[in-house]
Structure 1
């Protein structure tokens, strides 16, 4: 064990939406919290990448304000100028059917962040102590009634003062269930077998995301032609799940950028591929056949593989909890089937469960939580 140990009431593993909302709730209740995140950013699959003087949302493409929690969140973000309405129509490309047709008119528009959807994660991360580039290696109970977490400083983190261990009275595990299983089986956690088995039962589908940029002249063509296909779906048997006109999210975009999401069946073929550029080319070729021929020839392209993109077999409850040997709760968008709404519900429920186990105060109204987050920049 490391001799550099910092103690907190709660350690939150994962800075996705569920982990951030859980940590914020616990902080507002007066608990000392640390968020441990293996990457450099926050938000999980609410992710944006900077590339070629632009940005691309290569995970969640938008926010959908249709839930009990996501609707007030979008209202808060909208008042803060972080998100704006984007489109109220989803288009569909059917086999042998071009041009594409509107598939659905939404009761409320999708919202996007002109500066990148990761602005949502950054908002939820305000005021939180987040240790970036820290991978949790083992989780073990101590004789003093605390969890001991051994950490690894990822290569990107050069800070010599990075603590190498944390101890906490409780843990919120806010990672995809398969990642939680790998961590909890890597050491002597002392967790009940039934608890781990229920995590193992959760299954995910993968997705390959392609970010592709095209000549500036094509952006003018799209705007002048009043192209409306901001969000486009594809047939179930195609290699594509969706196409999103990224550059329509910002009024100052100078070149068209599209983000393609593959189907799960297509992504399954490339889970172990070391070279993803040919995979991206294949998807660009396919969307070029289905929508615009020039989409086959991007000026630049980046490809990202999501191993845990969409939960195929979710937990049917908002939480997975145990007090043996010590309090631990697993939460995330895999605790249901509504993605961001589920992540918010699960994260809040995790905070309430943990605070109750530690003898904390009851949860405050949601409005006061949003106010507390928004108060300071």
Structure 2
């Protein structure tokens, strides 16, 4: 029996798990993928790495600024650029806007690897069923039929996935309003193309990050190789618009889709060599950006034992929203379980004690 099980090792789940572990609860994190971070994702390929999910951090609220400061002090992130360019689809002009952007030289997933320290983590098995047992515990069944029991449950995955998992429990247990809110959240999808090019690819752009305004197919492009500490062959990450990704939500072979995106980017940016990469890999994010987020920091169910949902779809979006939602979920679970969280020692003070980004994974 574990005090709290967290489903999902994205930023929200990791922040909640660390906050509760700090308070003395036993916590188990279950993640269906091979690594941690969720959409704070890095793909390692062809001797380099590319950030195909969240591409950088932008300082916003005070708490998030403090987290960025900790990550900088630990040399996990560094300043990437202070300018994000915008491509106007009607005029073709590229205009600049001030935007302080931080990124991780070892890949954005290094942020999650830092936050997962000291947590009990179990990966590569999906939770397929949740039950409330007659012994008054949550029972979670994995796809390999392994089972875990807990007194409290945090669901830190995209709302549509959480709805699929929890809806079988029924309105009588979860509450009509809880299910209605959970099922109301919708996401925009995104397709990311990672592409590498020869050393002699010229001319290289003068920008590191560029947003396409109102482009029917393209959303964003970044010179991802400029994040790395060592001089590398140029490689880019190109992300699609939401409408374009929606058209290809069920396309089995995404490679032609990625080639089309590179060709479009080459034409619009007048960089003809962009459509002839040495290598290219395509990834589909079905739940990339919350389109209809809830106006709450986390979503608790009215169940006999604590059950709370969190994520960037609660009260905001992107990494900062996920962090704040995770902290709110920890507060909610703690309030239902006994109020062990100490007011005089906050989460960021605790995280400052972490000295490395090493972590152990239990298969």
- The structure-2 alpha-carbon separation of the partners of 1:274 and 1:376, relative to structure 1 and needing over 3 Å to count, comes to closer
Deviation of 1:360 (Å): 3.3
260, 265, 270: which is aligned to 1:282? 260
Query: How far 1:72 sits from its partner (Å)?
Result: 1.0
Report the CA distance between 1:298 and its aligned residue.
Answer: 1.0
Query: Which of residues 130, 133, 140 is equivalent to 1:142?
Result: 133
Q: Given the alignment of the two structures, is residue 179 of structure 1 paired with residue 150 of structure 2, yes or no?
A: no
Structure 2: gaps (5+ residues) = 359-363
Secondary structure at the counterpart of residue 209 of structure 1: strand
Note if 1:311 corresponds to 2:290: yes
- 1:71-108: per-residue Cα shift (whole Å, max 9, x none)? 11111111111111000111111125456221x112xx
Count of aligned residue pairs for this structure pair:
354
**Cα deviations by residue, 1:215-261 (Å, 9 ceiling, x for unpaired):** 11127x53xxxx43111011214311100110000131321110011
Q: Deviations over 1:165-193 (max 9, x none)?
A: 11111101100000001111245693223
Does the alignment pair 1:367 with 2:358?
no
**C-alpha distance in 2, partners of 1:367/1:170?**
23
How far apart in 2 are the matches of 1:357 and 1:112? 37
Residue equivalent to 1:159: none
Q: How far 1:315 moved relative to its partner?
A: 0.5
- Which of 327, 340, 348 is the aligned partner of 2:327? 348
Residue correspondence of structure 1 range 236-275 to structure 2 within 5 A: 236-275=214-253
Aligned mates of 1:193, 1:374 — CA distance in 2: 45
Report if the CA contact (8 A) 2:140-2:149 is conserved. yes
**Residue number in structure 1 paired with 2:13:** 19
* 2:249 aligned counterpart, secondary structure: coil
- Once residues 77 and 230 of structure 2 are traced to their aligned partners in structure 1, the CA distance between those partners, rounded to angstroms, is 16
**Cα deviation 1:145-175 (Å, max 9, x = unaligned):** 211111124xxxxxxxxx8111111101100
8 Å CA contact retained: 1:138, 1:187 = no
Residues of 2 paired with 1:316 and 1:280: CA distance? 35
User: What residue is the counterpart of 2:361 in the other structure?
Assistant: none
Unaligned runs of 5+ in 1: 1-6, 154-162
Cα distance, 1:352–1:373 mapped onto 2, change above 3 Å:
farther
Q: Secondary structure at the match of 1:43?
A: coil
SS in 2 for 1:69: helix
* 1:122 aligned residue: 113
Alpha-carbon shift at residue 361 of structure 1 (Å): 1.7
1:88 alignment partner, one of 79, 82, 93: 82
TM-score, normalization: structure 2?
0.93
Tell me, yes or no, if the aligned pair for 2:117 and 2:354 is still in contact at 8 Å: yes
After alignment, is 290-299 or 261-270 more displaced?
Answer: 290-299
Asked if the contact 2:17–2:27 (Cα under 8 Å) also holds between the matched residues in 1, the reply is yes
Q: Distance in 2 between matches of 1:22 and 1:33?
A: 10
| 1:259-280 C-alpha deviation (Å, 9 max, x unpaired) | 0110000000011110000100
